[in-house]
């Protein structure tokens, strides 16, 4: 496999315009997250991704955006002890992936875990299996 040129949407002022310019320059991968652009990045990509099905997209799970907090609580997937910043419980991750899928208009090609070290209460030692 060869490297692919990608565009990130973390600090884009206009996500759709920036990604459209990158796609016209030959980019084949877009990276985004539910919290980028004040919670609007994924939904603003939907028309572009719909028009360019060959473009791959990645997003992230684990971070709890302010824009999603109320909906996550209402869905019963955000425990109050995980309410500040990050949540790596299976129900929350599944809910967040489903929400990203709806916003993007398709299944993400890759999903990153956002800051997995926040899942450890002491933040010391190995973050997962010790690898």
Residue-wise burial string across 59-75, b where 16 or more C-beta atoms lie within 10 A, e elsewhere: bbbbbbbeebeeebeee
How many C-beta atoms surround the C-beta of residue 119 within 10 A? 16
| 51, two tokens | 């028009």
The predicted structure's pLDDT at residue 130:
40
Residue 54's CATH number = 3.20.20.100
Kindly indicate the confidence band of residue 127, based on its pLDDT and cuts at 50, 70 and 90.
very low
Average pLDDT over residues 54-74: 93
Indicate the pTM of the whole model: 0.85
Asked, for residue 103, whether it belongs to a domain, the answer is yes
Kindly indicate the confidence band of residue 117, based on its pLDDT and cuts at 50, 70 and 90.
confident
Is beta strand 110-113 parallel, antiparallel or unpaired with respect to 29-31? unpaired
Asked, for residue 122, whether it belongs to a domain, the answer is no
Asked, for residue 126, whether it belongs to a domain, the answer is no
> How many domains does the chain divide into?
1
Domain that holds residue 12: 6-114
Give the model confidence (pLDDT) of 46-59 as tens digits.
999 999 999 999 99
């Amino acid at each position: 496999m060869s490297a692919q040129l990608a565009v990130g949407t973390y600090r884009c002022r206009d996500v759709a315009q920036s990604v459209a310019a990158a796609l016209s320059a030959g980019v084949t991968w877009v990276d985004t997250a539910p919290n980028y652009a004040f919670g609007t990045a994924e939904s603003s990509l939907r028309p572009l991704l719909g028009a360019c099905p060959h473009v791959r997209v990645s997003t992230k799970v684990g971070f709890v955006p302010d824009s999603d907090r109320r909906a996550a609580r209402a869905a019963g997937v955000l425990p109050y002890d995980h309410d500040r910043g990050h949540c790596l419980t299976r129900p929350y991750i599944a809910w967040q992936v489903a929400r990203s899928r709806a916003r993007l208009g398709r299944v993400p090609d890759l999903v990153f875990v956002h800051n997995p070290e926040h899942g450890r209460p002491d933040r010391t030692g190995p973050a997962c299996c010790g690898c």
